[in-house]
C-alpha cells in the first residue's frame, strides 16, 4: 500500500485513504478485489467499507452474491471528493498500474 505521502492519513488512516482512492480508480469494485489490490486483510477492508457506508461516502448493492461498491453520488461533496480521489490515484503510479491489470468481474 504505497499511497502518496501527503495523503497517507487524509481520511483518518492509511487504510481508509487507500480504500477510497482504489474505489475511485476502479469505479465499481468489491471487497475481495480491494483486499487483493491493496494487500490488506479482507476483514479490514470490509470494516472500512462498512464505516464509509454508514458515513454516506460510498454505496453498495448486491449483484448476485457479490456486494458491489461505488462512491455515493448523493454524498454532500461528491464531485469534490471524486476529483480529489482521482488526483491522488493518478499520483500513485503503482496503484494505478495494479488497478488497471485487475480482473473486472467477480468469480
**What is the Cα Rg of the chain in Å?**
13
Q: How far apart are CA 89 and CA 18, in angstroms?
A: 9
Determine the pLDDT at residue 79. Answer: 96
Question: pTM above 0.75?
Answer: yes
Mean pLDDT score, 26-43: 94
Interval 46-101: pLDDT, tens: 999 999 999 999 999 999 999 999 999 999 999 999 999 999 988 888 888 888 88
Determine the pLDDT at residue 24. Answer: 95
Determine the pLDDT at residue 71. Answer: 97
Determine the pLDDT at residue 107. Answer: 54
Q: Give how far Cα 58 sits from Cα of 75, 77, 93, 97, Å.
A: 8, 12, 24, 23
Has residue 104 got a pLDDT over 70? no
Determine the pLDDT at residue 16. Answer: 94
Amino acid at each position: 500500500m504505497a499511497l502518496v505521502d501527503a495523503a497517507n492519513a487524509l481520511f483518518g488512516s492509511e487504510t481508509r485513504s487507500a480504500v477510497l482512492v482504489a474505489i475511485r480508480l476502479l469505479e465499481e469494485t468489491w471487497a475481495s478485489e480491494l483486499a487483493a489490490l491493496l494487500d490488506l486483510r479482507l476483514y479490514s477492508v470490509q470494516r472500512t467499507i462498512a464505516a464509509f457506508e454508514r458515513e454516506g461516502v460510498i454505496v453498495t448493492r448486491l449483484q448476485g452474491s457479490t456486494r458491489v461498491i461505488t462512491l455515493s453520488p448523493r454524498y454532500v461533496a461528491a464531485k469534490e471528493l471524486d476529483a480529489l480521489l482521482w488526483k491522488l490515484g493518478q499520483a500513485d503510479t503503482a496503484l494505478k498500474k495494479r488497478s488497471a491489470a485487475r480482473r473486472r468481474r467477480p468469480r
